[in-house]
Every structure is written in structure tokens, then in C-alpha cells.
Amino acid sequence: MSMIFTLAAFAIALGILIVVHELGHYAAAKACGVKVLRFSVGFGKPLVSWRAGSDKTEWSIAAFPLGGYVKMLDEREGAVAPEELPRAFNTKPVSRRILIVLAGPLSNLLLAILLYWVLFMHGIPGLKPILGEIKPGTAVASAGFSSGEELLEVDHHPVSTWEDARWFLVQQAVKGGKVDISARDEKGSVLHHRLDLSHADIDSKNFLASLGFVQAKLVVPAVIGEVVEGGPAGRAGFQAGDKIVLLGGKSVNAWDDVANFIRQNGSAPMIVTVDRGGRLIDLRVTPELETENGKSVARIGIAAKIDQAAMGRLFIDARYPPGAAFIRAFDKTWETSGFTLKMMGEMLLGRISASNIGGPITIADYAGQSARMGTVAYLSFLALISISLGVLNLLPVPVLDGGHLMYYMAEIVRGRPLPDKAIEIGQQVGIFLLFSLMALAIYNDLHRLITG
């Protein structure tokens, strides 16, 4: 079921991104008076197709789903009746052809703005950037940070969550050098630090940890908030409100101790001592194994009692009015687009490992993970992938939209279209580059699967 859920989340995301991209081309073509012959989601043999509209455009869903296309009336692709020549793509002025090609990537960027706008108005939950343990010898320790400080600004950019902090720190780390950070300590005083980013590991999955940033942990008491009816704990006599004090004779200080003990204990029976209204009671329970992401996990069917006040000290729901939300959505899309281009450039220069490139397996995994986390996480993932797709398609690589734009720019400079032979060679080079990139991305996917 987990694999089916992941594939479904991936298919929905991919379908939305492809349809939005191709609808951009379609709408621009219609606005410029170009006849559209086919609108296809996917490549290859159509699985489902129908005709609609005044031009009887063929709408289809094809067998190979990683992409799509809009086929327009064009003399280079077949004979065109004399009366329909004015509606052929190749007969349109270069300015209109540029608009039609540009509309696809721009639609993906506009989708990202729309999604972020909705999210910023709805509210995005996140962890406040409050520091936990400061580890000696790290860049954070050298900058003089103390446990309990809450980050306020990174390079004069306000931050309200760890995601904000990571975003601005990565951008500064690409530049290298030092960055100014302001923070508030537990007494309310505002402090200023200068953090050295010269040794930051941008390639690391734990970028913040590589600098010494550790999130403050929510210490959850070992008090049971809920007992699953019919589960091992329910059958053993556990009750909501019980405080776990001993597990297998070992003392318990927090809920993490309970979770770790059950995980390590596996399915072996165990004795749990609980404090129930001041009376100590020994309960014998046998955990049951459940499969989660392909692994067996021991559970007894209990959940912690969460202190909402403590949660409020660590979590935030960042919400903005429509106007401010739109500006923030536009800025987020613009900054993410620019940063995506910068990271691509760094990879080409060899400053950042190409192992960061992910293919369909990685994207599908992220789609599944974000969908399990909820609507907000899934829409955030969708916005990020939409930006990546838009930026990627604008690169001046033949076959991609950016390659066609490159041809049209050359046409403007030359005063006439490029020779067919030059375009044919460019297309071959583009296909080679695109397939090489896909091969690298799939290799990275498989390597991550094998090495974990």
C-alpha cells in the first residue's frame, strides 16, 4: 500500500505539472491565432483520446507519462492547406513564436506563485529556529551562540522557521565568507553573531548540522495520552493518563525513552511499570510488529500526551494577509528560481557534486513523503518541483523550450531563420545532453536506493 500511495502522489504531481505547462503553450498558441492539432499528456501511443473545440483538437493521454507536448499546425511537419497557412506556427512573426514557447515555463512559475500564495494565506506550520545543544568545535560554537537562542535574522532577512534560516544560510554559503545573524536569548535580549560559512558542507543532507545548528527538542513526558482500543496495550490494561516510570526495570525520563526501548525490544514481552494516581502498577505487554516503509516496527498501541503550551513554544503557524502573502509568494518563487539556476551553475563548475541531481525515483519518494505529511507539505513540494521544471525548460538546450528561444534569438540577429541543418544538429546535441542528464539522475536514484 505504501508503494501504491507513493506512486499515486507522484502521478498526481506529474500530471498537474505537465498539464499546466502544456496548457500554457496551448493558451498562447490559441491567443496568437495558431491552430492546435494535438494536446498530449505523455509520449507514445495514446491510451485515451478525444476531439474537442472548434479546431477539433485531439486531446490524449499517452503511454509514456514523463512529459507531454502540444502539436501545432506547421509547414515543417507536414503539408498545410493554402487557406490555413495564416494559422501555421512557422508563418507567425518571431515575437509570437517566442511568446508561445515562453508560455509553458512561465505557466509553471505562475503555478508556483499561486500555490505559495495560497499556502502563505492558509498558514505554513514550522519549527521556530530555537537552538538546542551547542556542540564544541563547530562554527556555531565559534560564533558564540548559546543553547535556547532563537534566530531572528540571517543576513538581515527576517526568519521565523528553521526552513527560512536554512534557505538564507545556504544562499550565503554558496558565496562563502561570513554572515551576520541576530538572535534573542531566553531572557529576551537581542544578540548579534557573525557565523563563518567558509567550511559549510552545501552537499550535506544535514547542512545545518554541519555548521553546528541543532534544533531545540520538545521534551515530552512519558505520560500516555491515548491507548489504541484492541491493541497490545489496551489488552494489557494500560489507561490514558498513566505515567510510565520503568521499562524492563530501567527508569524512564521522557517519551523518547519509551519509543527507543520498544523499538529495540522488538516483539519480546516486557514489563512496564506505570504510575496511576500515585499507585505503581506492573503491566505485562507483548508488542506487535507492523511493516512501515518495508521495515518491521514494534508497537504496543499507545500515544504520548502532548503539552500544547510546550508545543506552542517551539512551533509556529506563519500566516499572512492576501497582499503580503502574494508578495511573499512572488519573492519565494523568484528567489528559488534564481537559486536553482545558481546551483546548476555551481554543478557545471564542479563546485557542487552532481550527486545532488535527482531523477523520477527520488522525486516520487519526495512526493510520497510530502503527501503523508499533509496537504501543506504536498503543495509546497508541488510548488518547488514546478519551479524546477520551469527553470529547467528555460535553459538554452535544444529540445527544451529554452533551446527554441535560442533559435529565435539567433533569427532576430540574422534577420532570417537558422538553416534546417543547423537546427537538426542542435536537436541531436540537445537529445544527447538530455538523455545524459536523465541517465545521471537515474544512476543517482539507484545509488541512493542501494546505499540507503
- Residue 219: is its pLDDT beyond 80? no
Residue 35 is predicted with a pLDDT of 93
Question: What is the rounded distance in angstroms from the CA atom of residue 216 to the CA atom of residue 147?
Answer: 8
User: H-type helices in 123-156, by residue range?
Assistant: 139-142
- Averaged pLDDT for residues 232-254: 91
Residue 352 structural domain = 93-123+321-452
Q: Annotated catalytic, 22?
A: yes
The amino acid sitting at 290 is: E
Q: What is the pLDDT of residues 39-80, one digit of tens each?
A: 999 888 888 999 988 889 999 998 887 788 899 999 888 888
Alpha-carbon Rg of the chain, whole angstroms? 28
CATH code assigned at 199: 2.30.42.10
Q: Domain check: are 178 and 292 in the same one?
A: no
Residue 425 is predicted with a pLDDT of 86
Cα dist from 103 to 5, 26, 337, 393, 405, whole Å: 32, 9, 16, 11, 11
Cβ contact 383:30 at 8 Å: no
Q: Domain check: are 277 and 358 in the same one?
A: no
Residue 117 is predicted with a pLDDT of 95
Beta strand extents in 159-285 (DSSP E only): 178-184, 190-196, 224-227, 243-247, 250-251, 270-276, 279-285
Q: Domain check: are 445 and 328 in the same one?
A: yes
Residues 6+ apart with CB under 8 A from 86: 33
- Averaged pLDDT for residues 235-245: 93
The amino acid sitting at 324 is: A
Which of 22, 77, 229, 424 is flagged as catalytic? Answer: 22
Cell readout for 237 is 490494561
CA torsion 39-45-46-52 (nearest 10°) is: 40
Q: Domain check: are 374 and 451 in the same one?
A: yes
| Structural domain count of the chain | 3
- Residue 438: is its pLDDT beyond 80? no
Q: What is the pLDDT of residues 313-370, one digit of tens each?
A: 778 877 888 998 898 899 889 888 888 888 777 777 766 666 666 666 777 777 777 8
Percent of the chain scored above 90 by pLDDT? 37
Lowest mean pLDDT among 35-44, 183-192, 213-222: 213-222
User: Which H or E run contains 170?
Assistant: helix 162-175
Rounded to 5°, the CA angle 33-35-38 comes to 145
Confidence of residue 193 (pLDDT cuts 50, 70, 90): very high
Q: Is residue 175 part of a domain?
A: yes
Question: What is the rounded distance in angstroms from the CA atom of residue 300 to the CA atom of residue 36?
Answer: 60
With 0-12 / 13-18 / 19 or more C-beta atoms within 10 angstroms meaning exposed / middle / buried, residue 238 is buried
Residue 26 is predicted with a pLDDT of 94
Q: What is the pLDDT of residues 252-309, one digit of tens each?
A: 888 888 888 988 888 889 999 999 999 999 999 999 888 765 577 888 989 988 777 6
| 3-class SS of residue 60 | strand
- The neighbouring-strand residues paired with 157 are 154
Q: Domain check: are 235 and 327 in the same one?
A: no
Rounded to 5°, the CA angle 229-231-236 comes to 100
Question: What is the rounded distance in angstroms from the CA atom of residue 110 to the CA atom of residue 116?
Answer: 10
Q: What is the pLDDT of residues 293-315, one digit of tens each?
A: 557 788 898 998 877 766 767 78
* pLDDT top residue among 417 and 201: 417
Q: Domain check: are 429 and 359 in the same one?
A: yes
Q: What is the pLDDT of residues 72-98, one digit of tens each?
A: 999 888 888 889 899 999 899 999 999
Question: What is the rounded distance in angstroms from the CA atom of residue 190 to the CA atom of residue 184?
Answer: 4
The overall average pLDDT reported for the chain is 86
Q: State which of 305, 333, 361 marks the end of a domain.
A: 305
Q: Domain check: are 114 and 129 in the same one?
A: no
| Angle between helical axes of 360-373 and 2-31 (0-180°, round to 10) | 100
Q: What is the pLDDT of residues 360-406, one digit of tens each?
A: 677 777 777 787 878 888 898 899 899 988 998 898 888 888 888 99
Cell readout for 28 is 498562447
User: Which H or E run contains 54?
Assistant: none
Residue 37 is predicted with a pLDDT of 93
Residue 238 is predicted with a pLDDT of 93
Strands 124-127 and 315-318, bridge-based pairing: antiparallel
* DSSP letter (8 states) at residue 215: B
Q: Domain check: are 211 and 230 in the same one?
A: no
Confidence of residue 423 (pLDDT cuts 50, 70, 90): confident
Question: What is the rounded distance in angstroms from the CA atom of residue 418 to the CA atom of residue 192?
Answer: 57
Q: What is the pLDDT of residues 228-238, one digit of tens each?
A: 988 999 999 99
Confidence of residue 447 (pLDDT cuts 50, 70, 90): low
Q: Domain check: are 405 and 341 in the same one?
A: yes
Q: State which of 289, 318, 347 marks the end of a domain.
A: 318
Q: Is residue 130 part of a domain?
A: yes
Confidence of residue 204 (pLDDT cuts 50, 70, 90): low
Q: Domain check: are 449 and 327 in the same one?
A: yes
